[in-house]
Structure 1
Amino acid sequence: MIELFNPFSAPESYRACLGIDWGEQKNCIHLLAAEAGEIERFEIDADPASMGAFVRGLRQRFGAGRILAVSEQSKGALVNLLVDVEFIDLLAVNPKAAAKYRLSLHPGGSKSDPIDANALLRMLFTHRDHMSRMCRGDEPSRRLDGLSRHRRNLVAQRVQVALRLQSLLRRYYPQALGMLGAGEIWDPISLAFLRRWPCFSQLARTREQTLRQFYYTQGSRSARAIGRRLQHWRSSAALSSDTLLEQLGVIELSDDLEQLRVLNKQIHKLDTLIRNAYAQHPDKVIFSSFPAAGPAMAPRLAAVFGTDRDRFESCAQLQAYVGIAPIKIISGTKLNRTFMRRFCPKFLKQTFHEWAGLSIQFCPWAKACYRMLLDRGKGTAAAKRAIAFKWIRIMYRCWKNRTPYDENAYVQALIKRRSPIVEWMKKLGYLDEENTILFA
């Protein structure tokens, strides 16, 4: 049975409800008090001083009574200001749901800040069960989440600069690409080489012994690797006789190298901060017990779950929240379609997708499942999402029960349920015909 939500009745007994349409300059607020029959309209400057004065006015007007507020914004200045106010319960509504609800009230497509605020206020009475209350969350998980997101942004910037640097080298100094280290272009040996020989005219004048000594000094001791680079150096020739091309390339190269140096330093600093923060997380033993959950992935996984065991009502809610659960559209017997979920926290979805891919290398049942899905015609990305879907279910139960992951126990459960994964584990040599585990 569907019932309308009355925020003014017991057990809630809120003194007032707010619908807030956030703006960069002004916030449009619609207020409905319990004792009033009409909606009051406010337009408050978005700066902290003006909003703070408005909140204090609510406290003076409604005394010790509680206030229920709803906004489309799930992060930002407005949320940071209101989520700490003790007498305000702040709810978040999906922006797409709010837009569809506004359209149902105004089929002609009318839109304005007052219309949006009014629609949000109405949603409190009709769709309260589809809204979630916002809270800060525990500090250790918030710290890990913020540091991990910042690190991911810096890594993305580093990749962007590295791609630009590679394009630059192909344009004026392609000989250097065969002289760099076997790793990434932002590795110390590659950066040191480009700083010392920023153009081919300088590289051509150097001696072979100098190059050999450079690689030894940088920790590259493989005779085969050094020989291959020196052979490339001996067979190299100038790209062009245009000296200006080299001069401009050296200037641009210097800027890119400096950016990579700074980004490497910042990422290294964040790695230290993340390692120290994760060491203090109360659930570190649980998340470190999963395959491939190393120094980079385990903190990201711990940040997703947090320490509040009541945060997610079910595993399905978590799978949908992080974007791993697919969207299914079924209409009678004529239409049955499945879509990848796109409207979701991209960083969280990326976290589970990356970790599922890594787990294939270290977890026997995950590798067997991956091979099975590929054999069924699934693409690599779809197969990794399917494995992530299974991993979230496992991780959710371990997190709820506060118990570390046990690989052998899960494999025994697969055997008991006669999962098709078991047959693929036998094909890969992880189980014998008697279902005896052959891996440590």
Structure 2
Amino acid sequence: MGHQTLALIQQLDAACNSVDELAAATEDAFLAHPDPDIITSFPGLSVLSGACVLAEIGDDRDRFADARAMKAYAGAAPVTRASGRSHVVVARTVENQRLAAAGHMWTFAALRSAEPRAHYDRRHDGGERHTAALRNLFNKLLGCLYHCLRTDTFCNPGRAFRQPRHAGRMTVHGIAGATVKRSADPRAGEVCADDLKRGGCVTAYMDPAVILQAVPAQQSARSRVPAHG
């Protein structure tokens, strides 16, 4: 029994030594790359996690046409399905699973920083589940990473997560047959409010980038009902 235990311990020790050697080689290769300072300037990314992200997105700056392409590749961008009056936004299921796994750990680590945490809390308090809010944070970080790599600039969390002026709780007073539209919302689209009674209102906790307005049915754009907080 003692010899078997000793043999297993030696195998475990060899495996641990191999992991340490591989980690050291990964760190050396990553630090020799031109972009480690840019990547590790992001909240939540260290040398090893940054190496994982770089290995999956590659170092070809022209690989992705835009930030949306990178987000879709990572599975961070939502999928919008619209048909007639039906409008559904769901999570993307086709993704690079290794990059998605690295992004999951990245966003978890980023929550220890003030700006990413505030972004996550804002989405979660707005009604999103934990996984959806975390995925939105990953989506935000990937967009910032794409921009920084294209422009050779370091991440500035204060600027990247800057909160626009029109943030917080917004109430829209509408009429029957109105359609409540969300502009500039990555979750997209419009919410039908045909069941609104005259003089009623729609209240929602919106993302700061969202502009909420009610457009009365079969009326000109001049008669739009403005949103107010």
Fold-level match, TM-score > 0.5?
Answer: yes
Structure 1 counterpart of 2:73:
321
User: Which deviations, in whole Å up to 9, do the C-alpha atoms of 1:344-387 show, x marking residues without a partner?
Assistant: 221011111210111001x2121112222332333322221110
Percentage of matched positions with identical amino acids: 24
Alpha-carbon distance in 1 for matches of 2:141, 2:80: 20
Unaligned runs of 5+ in 1: 1-246, 421-440
Amino acid at match of 1:330: A
Residues 254 and 340 of structure 1: is their aligned pair in 2 closer, same or farther, counting only changes over 3 Å?
farther
Letter in 1 for 2:90: F
**Number of equivalent positions:** 168
Letter in 1 for 2:35: D
Instruction: Name the structure where strand makes up a greater proportion of residues.
Output: 2
Q: Structure 2 vs 1, CA of residues 301 and 251 (structure 1 numbering), >3 Å: closer, same or farther?
A: same
Return the alpha-carbon distance in structure 2 between the equivalents of residues 284 and 373 of structure 1: 30
How far did residue 337 of structure 1 move? 2.9
- Stretches of structure 2 that go unaligned for 5 or more consecutive residues are 169-229
How big is the shift at 1:251?
A: 7.3
Q: Secondary structure at the match of 1:330?
A: strand
- 1:348 is the counterpart of 2:99: yes
With CA pairs under 8 Å and 6+ residues apart, which has the higher RCO, 1 or 2? 2
Report SS of the residue matched to 1:398.
helix
Task: Specify the SS of the correspondent of 1:296.
Answer: helix
Is 1:293 the counterpart of 2:45 in the alignment? yes
Distance of aligned partners of 1:407 and 1:253 in 2 relative to their CA distance in 1, 3 Å threshold:
same
SS in 2 for 1:357: helix
Matched, 1:395 2:145: yes
Aligned ranges for residues 217-228 of structure 1 at < 5 Å?
A: none
Query: What SS is found at the alignment partner of 2:80?
Result: strand
Q: Distance in 2 between matches of 1:373 and 1:251?
A: 56
Cα 1:368–1:256 shift into 2, 3 Å: farther
Q: Verify the 8 A CA contact 2:115 2:158 in the aligned structure 1.
A: no
* Equivalent position of 2:31 in the other structure: 279
Q: 1:283 to 1:417 in 2, by over 3 A?
A: farther
Is the radius of gyration larger for structure 1 or structure 2? 1
C-alpha spacing 1:379/1:415, structure 2 compared with 1 (3 Å): closer
CA contact (8 A) 2:44 2:108 kept: no
Give how far 1:256 is off: 4.8
- Aligned residue type for 1:387: L
Which of 85, 88, 91 aligns to 1:337? It is 88
Per-residue deviation, residues 295-314 of structure 1 (Å, max 9, x unmatched): 22111222234332211111
Structure number having the greater helix percentage: 1
AA of the residue aligned to 1:410: A
- RMSD across aligned C-alpha pairs, in angstroms? 2.2
- TM-score normalised by length of structure 2: 0.65
Q: Distance in 2 between matches of 1:259 and 1:338?
A: 49
Secondary structure at the counterpart of residue 95 of structure 2 = coil
The 1:410/1:327 distance shift into structure 2, 3 A limit, reads: closer
Aligned to 2:192: none
Q: What's the TM-score once normalised by structure 1's chain length? A: 0.35
Can you list the C-alpha shifts for 1:224-250, whole angstroms capped at 9, x where unaligned?
A: xxxxxxxxxxxxxxxxxxxxxxx5xx6
SS in 2 for 1:312: coil
Q: Distance in 1 between matches of 2:17 and 2:60?
A: 34
Query: How is 1:28-47 mapped onto 2 (pairs within 5 angstroms)?
Result: none
